[in-house]
Chain A
């Protein structure tokens, strides 16, 4: 598509959400304790190293979103639930962190497994 001035003016009205209107079952619900998977993909992922293998709690279910790890490699949307997951700062960074401090990060279903 040729990008004209009119196309750009359309950009001011957003370029479309990554949210997908699809009926996909959620593997987790708010309050569930999860563990971020330990992965070492050579491709694209939005699961940073510092949360891999760490336990957190599902804070919000954002709904169904396109999956970045797939889209970066021509793999299609692979729509799945995306959650805001809360991790205690001490779980991520050890005992020097304040016990009440925490970090929220958005993680797709495929990044998570149920914690024991």
Chain B
């Protein structure tokens, strides 16, 4: 698809932002997000090409706004829903439960 992910040669993104002594993960949830995607892949629930395509289908504005491992999480959720492993409704229900118990408004 001619998506936002196909970035080669695009202008306007500005300078390359680098970080000295960058950690492998900046937040604990990033490692978890990667691990859960690997679970979906290694468990045979979806393949790498399907997973990449799911991330490409994240709406362009969102694709650029969210961080790298958020894209992994959203791609994993899209694939697990599409394959009937974890439906979007089931996920939302669990998210609402956790949100209530943690006292936050998600």
Q: List 18 A-B contacts (CB under 8 A).
A: A1-B42, A1-B43, A1-B44, A2-B43, A7-B42, A40-B2, A43-B53, A44-B49, A44-B52, A44-B56, A45-B1, A48-B6, A49-B9, A68-B49, A69-B49, A71-B47, A72-B47, A72-B52
Known contacts A1-B42, A41-B1; can you find 19 more A-B pairs with CB under 8 A?
A: A1-B43, A2-B43, A3-B43, A8-B42, A40-B2, A42-B1, A43-B1, A43-B53, A44-B1, A44-B49, A45-B1, A49-B6, A49-B9, A69-B49, A71-B48, A71-B49, A72-B49, A73-B53, A93-B9
**Residues of chain B from 1 to 51 with CB closer than 8 A to chain A in the complex:** 1-2, 6, 8-9, 38-39, 41-44, 47-50
A→B interface (CB under 8 Å): 1-3, 7-8, 11, 15, 40-45, 48-50, 68-69, 71-73, 92-93
Q: Which residues of A contact B39 (CB under 8 A)?
A: 3
B→A interface (CB under 8 Å): 1-2, 6, 8-9, 38-39, 41-44, 47-50, 52-53, 56
